[in-house]
Amino acid sequence: MSLDSVLAEIEIRLGEYPALNDIQHLRDLIAEIRPHRPHDITRATDNLRALCFVLQSNPAWRKSLRCYLVQVLTTRKLVHLFTDVGITQNIGFWSAARQRFLNKFLPPLMNDDYIKDVFGQLFDKKTDHIWINGVTDLTWMDLLKAIGFRSPAPRTTYAALTCEILSAVQVLSYRITNIGLEAELVRNYPDIEKFESPFLRQNDAINDYVICYSKWLADKRQEREDSKHIEVLLTQCEDITNRIRKTAALQGVSISLTRLLLQLIQSIARLRQLLDMLDSRSTEHAAAIGTTLFKELSIAENQRHSLRNLMQSNTELLSLQVTERAGKSGEHYVTNNRAEWLDMLRSALGAGFIVGFMALIKILFGTLALAPFGYAVLYSLNYSGGFMLVHVLHFTIATKQPAMTAALLARAIDGGKQKLDELAELIVLVLRSQFIAIVGNIGLAIPTAYAIAWAWVSVTGKHLVSPEKAQHLLHDIDPFGSLALPHAAIAGVYLFLSGLISGYYDNKASYSNIPERLRQLGWLKSLLGEPRLLRVTTYIGDNLGALAGNFFFGIMLGSIGQLGSFFGLPIDIRHITFSSANFAFALVGLDHNMSWQLAAYSLFGIMAIGMVNLGVSFSLAMLVALRSRRISFGQGGLLTVLLWTRFKENPRDYFLPGNEEKIEEKKDAN
């Protein structure tokens, strides 16, 4: 079909059935406008301009199309299009996710009596929003002029449409009031109950506005009020919303609170648009607002069944708080001077010592005759217990750093206050801290494992690992002859996930007031005594995230290999510190019958495993941290050049702390 044939068909059908409101003709018209490729904005614009030209050249088609559109709009309910599309619904995240998942296989029933469902049928392509938003507002407004909506029309037609908008305004106002009284919001901002709530007052003002506007519609001699006083109340509602966000940054946040805040912000924004449209004194201004709203509705409609959009919209604030808390933890992983650098070295050495014994326990567990589930349980307990002990003793696992420091860097980029050279300085500090942590971990893991292996020979008279087992351990760290690097990447993903888990539980400890609730347990108070209970609960509140992250990280490391065996998949993990300990065990197990080439190659494999561990976890953590803030960093090239230039001038800064006196003199000079 063509534009001419569609318009001619509308004219003929309208002549036969003056009450024509079937949307099929409108779908055919949109199909002619829609470009074959959604990103072909030029074609979409040309199609719309062609429609404008045809309408302006044929007044009969213009009149019939206008009457047809009026029939489609006025014979259906318009309210739900404005109050539901593009606004988060009042259902839980998991219920919404399940509903969207099922809708992909069995779409919901369409009700032709609602414009909301008609809108979805007209723009049923998931990519329609691309070309709709690509076309300029001016082109869409030209189409409205070409159709003739500016020309005089029956008073009842505009009154009916305006009443629908007024009804939508009231629904949105009631929704804002309801959210403002939710216990989640009151808990985070108790002053709502102490003072007169703008959430309640805006509803009273809206009701008065609707009554006054309805009287004006019935009798234009009545006085027509504007909505400026309502705008003041809506601004106060937004101020409270922003305060609640700031409070959530300190006290934690939940998905339900995130959903309420998101729904509140969206409802206020939509209410403003409708009020601006009602207050508009010119057709051009109303058309501009309508065009903007039309584009927003098209995006919301096309993403209505998108699981990805649901997760992004509902977890944005939660992700921000999780990564923000991880970023605060990341501050402890960055050394700024020689004393902190040496403290990091001692902390990493302590972790290396413990890992040596963890590697021993894992090898001993491997000699038992167990089912895969038994190995998974024992390995998980070994990893989890060891990592938690490392944290309790204030030691540092090098590979835990990237998931924390990536969020710290993202926060620095988001702040916008730091110059590029200051950001480069922060990256140098992070790399230097990471380097010394790796040195510390490996520096004591290898000697510890070596000493354990020799002690085992002295006590038992036989090697801890047989020559065959030693060859197997060396094969596991072969960077090119085995799956060591892919397995290291899996470990990097788990390191990233453990960082998110840590942030989540830190957030949960704060938001759910876990320390305070533990102190209310009478039996625990009787068991520990009040002073000890205070110390224990305070420690839990400060360290729950780190303990939970280490616990689940251990479970992931301990079970993945057994899951791979169960499903017949070649998946496992490789961790730089454990690989270095296993190298020492293999060296003793072979009675030092190892060529220097093989030793060097194995050490190279250990370092390659470490680089993959760090690179994967850092990249994923950085990506989530940036996306949670909806920011992008467009100066990566300049930053890379700056870092490389600094490395060539003074490579020592990337590995060793500088002279603090010289640093202070440089700062004073600047």
Predicted confidence at residue 324, as pLDDT, reads 52
Q: Tokens 């629904």 appear where?
A: 171
Distance CA 149, CA 158 (A): 10
Distance CA 622, CA 641 (A): 20
- Place 154 in a pLDDT band, splitting at 50, 70 and 90: low
Query: For 248-257, 319-328, 378-387, 393-402, which range has the lowest pLDDT when averaged over its residues?
Result: 319-328
CATH T-level topology, domain 320-669 = Glycerol uptake facilitator protein (1.20.1080)
- Place 124 in a pLDDT band, splitting at 50, 70 and 90: confident
Predicted confidence at residue 330, as pLDDT, reads 46
Asked if 469 and 444 touch (Cβ cutoff 8 Å), the reply is no
Asked if 230 and 209 touch (Cβ cutoff 8 Å), the reply is yes
Predicted confidence at residue 138, as pLDDT, reads 93
Supply the DSSP symbol for 526: H
Predicted confidence at residue 406, as pLDDT, reads 58
Cα-to-chain-centroid distance, residue 260: 17
Asked if 375 and 366 touch (Cβ cutoff 8 Å), the reply is yes
- Place 389 in a pLDDT band, splitting at 50, 70 and 90: very high
Q: What share of the chain is helix, strand, coil (3-state, %, to 5)?
A: 80, 0, 20
**What are the φ/ψ torsions at residue 77 (nearest 5 degrees)?**
-75, 125
Distance CA 502, CA 516 (A): 20
Predicted confidence at residue 663, as pLDDT, reads 45
For 491, the token pair is 């470990």
The region, left, alpha or beta by phi > 0 then psi within -120 to 50, assigned to residue 394 is: left
Q: What is the mean pLDDT of residues 53-82?
A: 90
Q: What is the mean pLDDT of residues 637-662?
A: 76
Asked if 139 and 45 touch (Cβ cutoff 8 Å), the reply is yes
Predicted confidence at residue 646, as pLDDT, reads 84
Query: For 82-96, 149-163, 499-513, which range has the lowest pLDDT when averaged over its residues?
Result: 149-163
Asked if 499 and 617 touch (Cβ cutoff 8 Å), the reply is yes
For 148, the token pair is 């003739």
Distance CA 550, CA 572 (A): 18
Residue 537 pLDDT more than 80? yes
Which tens digit of pLDDT belongs to each residue from 400-457?
A: 665 556 556 666 665 554 566 777 787 788 788 888 888 999 999 999 999 999 999 9
Supply the DSSP symbol for 110: P
Helix axis angle for 372-392 and 530-567, nearest 10°, is 140
Distance CA 546, CA 533 (A): 20
Query: For 99-113, 292-306, 649-663, which range has the lowest pLDDT when averaged over its residues?
Result: 649-663
Q: What is the mean pLDDT of residues 257-266?
A: 85
| Share of residues in the chain with pLDDT > 70 (%) | 86
568 exposure class (CB count in 10 Å sphere: 0-12, 13-18, 19+): exposed
Predicted confidence at residue 362, as pLDDT, reads 94
Cα-to-chain-centroid distance, residue 113: 37
Which tens digit of pLDDT belongs to each residue from 462-502?
A: 999 999 999 999 999 999 999 999 999 999 999 888 877 88
Predicted confidence at residue 669, as pLDDT, reads 47
Residue 66 pLDDT more than 80? yes
DSSP secondary structure string for all residues of 441-480: HHHHHHHHHHHHHHHHHHHHSS-SS-HHHHHHHHHHT-TT
Asked if 173 and 206 touch (Cβ cutoff 8 Å), the reply is yes
Distance CA 474, CA 491 (A): 18
Distance CA 356, CA 580 (A): 9
Residue 558 pLDDT more than 70? yes
- Give me the chain's average pLDDT, please: 84
Asked if 264 and 179 touch (Cβ cutoff 8 Å), the reply is yes
Nearest to 275 by CA among 141, 115, 165, 156: 165
> What residue type is assigned to position 173 of the chain?
S
More confident residue, 306 or 508: 508
Cα 467 to Cα 356, 460, 581, 598: the distances in Å are 20, 16, 16, 15
> What residue type is assigned to position 87 of the chain?
I
Nearest to 467 by CA among 310, 643, 386, 587: 587
Q: Please tell me whether residue 77 adopts helix, strand or coil conformation.
A: strand
Residue 33 pLDDT more than 80? yes
Q: What is the mean pLDDT of residues 69-95?
A: 85
* Other C-beta atoms lying within 10 Å of the C-beta of residue 474: 23
Which tens digit of pLDDT belongs to each residue from 341-382?
A: 889 899 999 999 999 999 999 999 999 999 999 999 999 999
Looking at the DSSP bridge assignments, the partners of residue 114 are: 77
Supply the DSSP symbol for 332: G
Cα 138 to Cα 26, 45, 285, 379, 488: the distances in Å are 22, 10, 12, 65, 54
